[in-house]
Structure 1
């Protein structure tokens, strides 16, 4: 190889290495593929990716708790989390009691309300959470926000985990078991419509949503103010009437270790006009991902990059 060829080859390798180094990889932890986090996370990744600068990817995971732990451990740059889980992690309370605080956890944006679903077969006779005693109930997988919230709901109605026959599986597996009669009910916390529940309702198996309302729900909201009253509208799922339930905010969180400029660019891209149109058209919950909603229900500090954008937009002081 002549010196000129060697120099050219070296320059090419150097330029490639510099380009690769300039690119910021931004992995977003989502949830199971049958839930709402996965498609919404994918839409956000597409919206914030910038050729040559930021390569964002959505990764399936076990959900909120798993995402927060992965961010703390450095295997994810960001993740979707329920508002309650993010707050518990930062303050070392709730599910993080005795496990230490995740003090580097930072907020990028509050996204949309996640509805608490309690799904049963039509005509099951299960009309209330109290009716779950003695039943086979799926509570979702360890590491999910659903499991934590399901336990809170059961406790609010005076139902112990030992009072039911629990199963710890994802909602799509729970839907299959409900269909074949080996399960009586399952919980799921996520933006409505959730893929697994919509698929189940459209499969010819009649389903019902059990209300999570009344005095017990009011007491739960009083003790855990991140819960809000919510209604899943009629026909969100095929032939299912409107039902009152509770909701928590879905949030995009990250680590304080990420540099300010990267998070600023990502936040700015997510709320650009083009991204807003894409998000609104891509999923029923995408229309809630607005600048105004981004700063609502926030229980942990904003990342400086996100804070910079919201200050420029006049959303926070």
Structure 2
């Protein structure tokens, strides 16, 4: 169960990435149905200031001994350095050995790698630092093209906003999509973003908001149980199929078919959590033609079957 969350800070931590963790885990959202987190910000010495990367300082009442009590140790980004404080690395190793979940945002992956916790593991970090990371930590399996990597006990994420994706994924995995969606709604971000870092390296999202596909995406999301051929989507967007495919990839980071499948799985998760519908009915309501098709897509996206997911996250009496 995800209850106690500890965030270790060292000098030159990044305020935005730290703020992401505060937004997801540090704010009481029980009125939205999200279980409360015991959120603890930790520094090497309680009451002693640590530097924010930007000039400010911060003091907290908690020391690194709190990492020994945490269900989740959430590691923000820090200024990348040749050496990390031994006390910090020891605390990370001890938390991992005890079985705590570990989550990193952006360059926080460097700290876990320096502690030896990413050896042999698939992981990611900001694309801009990926080559340096791979050179320094060749035993880690760096994947620079993804938003985050869930390797079980350890989740690593790419730059800045990808930390939101990873944190919401962790909430969804541990507490269900309803909790993750409630947090995302309050943060005004998508509950589940598709694509990877490559979209930001090669083909950034266009700045022209007037041509956004968002109205079409919203229309599709309300009609997931219907068939949506690409030709019809392109016609509705007043584009040729070729232009539509290019624009869709630029704006969402994935193809129309994969986007629809992901949205249908997300809708199926909500139905499995909140409704008594049979698996077959969930499949039809979500736009999958059969329960077998639902099971195929659901297991590929979530890692377990719809029935197993319902047993873990059902909210029906």
Q: Identify the TM-score tier after normalising by the shorter chain.
A: under 0.3
**Please, what TM-score do these two structures have when normalized by structure 1?**
0.28
Higher strand share: 1
Query: Higher relative CO (CA 8 A, sep ≥ 6), structure 1 or 2?
Result: 1
Pick the structure with greater CA Rg: 1
